[in-house]
Structure 1
Amino acid sequence: MPYIEECIQSILAQSFQNWRLLILDNRSTDSTDSLCSKYLADRRIEYITNATDIGMIPNFNQCLDLCDTKYYAILSHDDMYADARAVEDSLTLLENDPELCAVYSHLNWIDGNSQTIARKKFKTMGKVASDTIAKTSIRTCRNLFGVPLLVRAAAVKGHKYESAFYFTADIDFSIAIGQGLYHYVIDRPCYAIRFHASNTSMRDFSKTRSELNSIADKHRIKLSVVDSIRMRINDWQTRAGKHLFYLYLDHFRKFMPACQQR
């Protein structure tokens, strides 16, 4: 986990400091433990190692099981907060509006060197009905929620990430906790998602549409014939776009700085 220090440092840099950080090591075989050890003098930080490799989705659920605070966030080891006020501003929004289940924001896409590739701006901002975004996400075959900066723990209500939705578990979970509620989208990028060569799960999107159809059935989201046709078209467009994106990332982006210097 070569990026985990940047993730931890983005939490340490938050303007809100009354937090507790649990680092769940799912039997990593790299130097994660030594990288994290230097931070364990901070009493707010605890390092937990699983007895066996339980897989990505069960590890997310273990995070939920260990959560005993009013609000929480799950950060992947290679992602990070991109704004020092991300937690403080999210906390203020959640405290002031009990209808909000979570706070999201626009996103920075960064590469393996922490350089910004692009910024993902969502069309909806401010207070948004989660059910509306749920159906639109399914119909467009895209995660239009984003990554939560902070979640109200009471909104979880026993929901879990489902292993059956390996590539879309985040969408399913956002739909589940948001039913009948609202979320808030901050109009600036407060979270950074990293795209790098070793992140293979983000590159496999062959089962996205089939999983989203199952998610629609699970949450009783009705899709018309037109919706299904749009899903097929959007799925094809999304796959094509992602293939081009990774082609650029793997084969062209590394040459861009040299080209720009000429």
Structure 2
Amino acid sequence: MNSLVSIIMPAYNCEEYICEAIDSILSQSYQNIELLIADDASSDGTKSIIEGYSDSRIKMFHNDGNMGYLQTCNKLFEKCNGEYITFQDADDWSAKDRIASQVEAITQSSLGICGTFLEFVNPDGSPATASKILPVSDQDIREKMRSTNPFCGASIMITKDAYEKVGGYDPFFSRIGNEDYYWASRIVDKYTALNIDRPLYFVRANPNSVTRTIKNVRQLLSVEIVHFLIENGDKIEHSKNSIDPKDPLLKGFIEQLEKPFIQDASLIYRKEADMRAYYGDFVGSFQSARKAFMARPWYLINLKYLLTTATRIINK
């Protein structure tokens, strides 16, 4: 059990946390690793912090311009040399035995994909919520896949064989999120899956994280799009191994999803408030609720959101 493990880390404007992320990988009990890092044209000191490391296991592939999380991951996928591939987000960290535990699980159970339980933490690293409980067995993962993402995306480890068969993230999901959900569903369709029932990955409630910032409506619809693709993937047109966004069936489905947001300009902010609250960012949730109220102040539900999110801050 000493095969090389490739760990990919896209990094963008995370100077406050990236040292903890990198150090958590370099200090893993499993030492035969390569850490592939790409700074995605950060405007803060992230890049210089990365370049301050001299560990030979770190390989740097910085972007000249901002490519986004998905495209950066796909770039790093192509650079991987390991028999196993996993992730480490630049504002989170991993338990010391995470990599060893996943390699052991994959080899002992002939898995193609292996995740772990996770724990949400506050920006200062203190616990934010209880550990996230996920389905463990292959059967339970398959049953959950059609209704919710059964993995912590950043803790997923796959075999090289799985990557060669499925490839990287589908570009269709670039800058809208849930690329990991759809990708995992395609791997589970071909390989045995497992989640280790211990929190080996720690997700920071960083309000500035790209996964917590809503910039377009489709970010809020991406889960429903994944569900639709899981159910109808064989009917959707593909071009160059990617979903064709012009496919009539998919295009019609997305248009129906977008209608409520066109009719109610405040809906996007209420959805954003829900997402920030889920990650424990109650101040950010209040700010989003305030945007909803400002967009449609006479709408009763926006007043309710404003009061509810304010109450969460007071009671925290």
Q: Given the alignment, which residue of 124, 128, 141 partners 2:135?
A: 124
TM-score, with length taken from structure 1: 0.78
Q: Shift in Å at residue 59 of structure 1?
A: 0.7
Amino acid aligned to 1:146: C
Q: Given the alignment, which residue of 171, 183, 188 partners 1:178?
A: 188
Q: Which residue of 2 aligns with 1:59?
A: 72
Q: Which residue of 2 aligns with 1:89?
A: 101
Please show how residues 1-262 of structure 1 align to structure 2 within 5 Å: 1-2=14-15, 3-40=17-54, 42-81=55-94, 83-98=95-110, 100-128=111-139, 130-137=141-148, 143-147=149-153, 148-156=155-163, 157-165=165-173, 166-204=176-214, 205-217=219-231, 219-220=233-234, 239=271, 241-242=274-275, 244-245=277-278, 248-250=282-284
Q: Shift in Å at residue 17 of structure 1?
A: 0.7
Q: Shift in Å at residue 136 of structure 1?
A: 2.9
Amino acid aligned to 1:69: G
C-alpha change, 1:247 and 1:13, in structure 2 (3 Å) is: closer
Q: Shift in Å at residue 37 of structure 1?
A: 2.5
C-alpha change, 1:95 and 1:53, in structure 2 (3 Å) is: same
Distance (Å, rounded) in 1 between the aligned partners of 2:224 and 2:140: 25
C-alpha change, 1:93 and 1:27, in structure 2 (3 Å) is: same
Amino acid aligned to 1:107: L
Q: Shift in Å at residue 216 of structure 1?
A: 2.3
Q: Shift in Å at residue 188 of structure 1?
A: 1.1
C-alpha change, 1:74 and 1:167, in structure 2 (3 Å) is: same
1:120-154 residue CA offsets vs partner (Å, 9 max, x unmatched): 432522444653332132xxxxx222233422121
Distance (Å, rounded) in 2 between the aligned partners of 1:149 and 1:206: 22
Q: Shift in Å at residue 161 of structure 1?
A: 1.1
Q: Shift in Å at residue 181 of structure 1?
A: 2.1
Distance (Å, rounded) in 2 between the aligned partners of 1:244 and 1:150: 28
Contact 2:134 2:151 in 1 (8 A): no
1:84-131 residue CA offsets vs partner (Å, 9 max, x unmatched): 111111111111222x11221111111221222013432522444653
Distance (Å, rounded) in 1 between the aligned partners of 2:77 and 2:213: 26
Distance (Å, rounded) in 1 between the aligned partners of 2:140 and 2:201: 21
C-alpha change, 1:54 and 1:185, in structure 2 (3 Å) is: same
Amino acid aligned to 1:116: P
CA RMSD of aligned residues (A): 2.9
Amino acid aligned to 2:81: D
Is the partner of 1:69 in helix, strand or coil? coil
The aligned length equals 235
Q: Which residue of 2 aligns with 1:232?
A: none
Is the partner of 2:48 in helix, strand or coil? helix
Provide the identity percentage: 21
Q: Shift in Å at residue 5 of structure 1?
A: 0.6
C-alpha change, 1:126 and 1:84, in structure 2 (3 Å) is: farther
Distance (Å, rounded) in 1 between the aligned partners of 2:106 and 2:166: 20
Amino acid aligned to 1:215: L
Is the partner of 2:91 in helix, strand or coil? coil
Structure whose alpha-carbon radius of gyration is higher: 2
TM-score, with length taken from structure 2: 0.65
